[in-house]
Structure 1
Amino acid sequence: MPASPISIPLRWLAHGRGLPLPAQQTAGAAGLDLAAAIAPDSVTEIAPGDYAMIPTGLAIALPQGYEAQVRPRSGLAAKYGVTVLNAPGTVDADYRGEIMVMLINHGKATFAVRRGERIAQMVVAPVSAVQLHEMETLDETERGEAGHGSTGR
């Protein structure tokens, strides 16, 4: 049974007005698609190996205890080699500024971003309140201190 929807206030900035409201595209989708809020008659080109901050034209007010993760869209990665550079980017519950998407082009050709293009997805998730406490030793486990690659390929 799906969880009850979380109500999140959203404010459109002037350059984002007219874009579609971020939405989950299917009933089983985890992420809400974010669209590029660049000027209507312009194109932002991202050369291979380069990155760019793409505005979404929106700000949100997450409830305390939640974050929004800005993640890549798999289609852009598979077709063009374009992904979110700091994936997942985190939008904290106390942030009220514009959500920006840092896209990087790992592909072989220049990637053109146009207004309204779905450039990333946003997943809203609960966060844990964490308080660390110092100890001289930690409990032993079978894995111990074995790090990267220690559990197989």
Structure 2
Amino acid sequence: MNIKMMKLHYDAILPTRKSEYSNRFDLYALGTVPPDELYRLNESRGYSEYWVYPGEFVLVRTGIAVEPLEDMDAQVRSVISSVTADKKVTLLNSLIALETSFFGELAIILTNVGDEPICIREGDKIAQLVFPPVIINLEHAA
């Protein structure tokens, strides 16, 4: 199945797979928007480098959009990488599901669950995108 992804910003990095056999696409940071600046979300791509302190959360823009899918779900999941594992940062929600009616920029809310400030930079791998099939009909057993 082909999934259409679109760059919404010139500097955005399209999702990549580690190998042709991987079922997960890596998502990359374009810019980071702190909570007190979310009102500027449509005006700014965010900071190319931003420090997140313990207990804080930030919205990380990807600069990409995914075409809605009718018979397949799209989910954003935490990834083990230099950003998420070593720096102790995770998705604010453990899993983000995209509705089939959604078409807009993928933005990820990350929170620092560690004891030290962490830096999120443009180009950092921040999450993974997967496309599990959707079960439409359920059969009830007696």
Taking structure 1 as the reference length, what is the TM-score of the superposition? 0.73
Match of 1:122 among 111, 129, 134: 129
Q: CA deviation at 1:91?
A: 1.2
C-alpha distance in structure 1 between counterparts of 2:13 and 2:6, whole Å: 13
Which has the higher Rg, Structure 1 or Structure 2? 1
When the two structures are aligned, how many residues end up with a matched partner?
128
Q: Does 1:21 align with 2:28?
A: no
Post-superposition CA distance 1:32-54 (Å, at most 9, x none): 00011115973122111111111
Q: How does 1:44-55 map to 2 (within 5 A)?
A: 44-55=50-61
Q: Report the CA distance shift for 1:110/1:31 in structure 2 as closer, same or farther (over 3 A).
A: same
Q: Does 1:9 align with 2:16?
A: no
Taking structure 2 as the reference length, what is the TM-score of the superposition? 0.78
Q: CA deviation at 1:60?
A: 1.1
The residue matched to 2:136 in structure 1 has which SS? coil
Q: Write 1 or 2 for the structure with the bigger share of strand.
A: 2
The residue matched to 2:105 in structure 1 has which SS? coil
Runs of 4+ in 1 over 6 A off after TM superposition: none
The residue matched to 2:132 in structure 1 has which SS? strand
C-alpha distance in structure 2 between counterparts of 1:99 and 1:32, whole Å: 13
**2:26 matched residue in structure 1:** 33
**1:68 matched residue in structure 2:** 74
C-alpha distance in structure 1 between counterparts of 2:84 and 2:25, whole Å: 17
Q: CA deviation at 1:130?
A: 5.8
**1:92 matched residue in structure 2:** 99
Q: CA deviation at 1:58?
A: 0.8
Instruction: Among all aligned residue pairs of Structure 1 and Structure 2, give the percentage whose two residues are the same amino acid.
Output: 29
Match of 1:56 among 47, 57, 62: 62
> What amino acid is the match of 1:8?
I
- Could you say what the CA RMSD is over the residues aligned between the two structures, in angstroms? 2.4
Is 2:25–2:128's contact at 8 Å kept on the other side of the alignment? yes
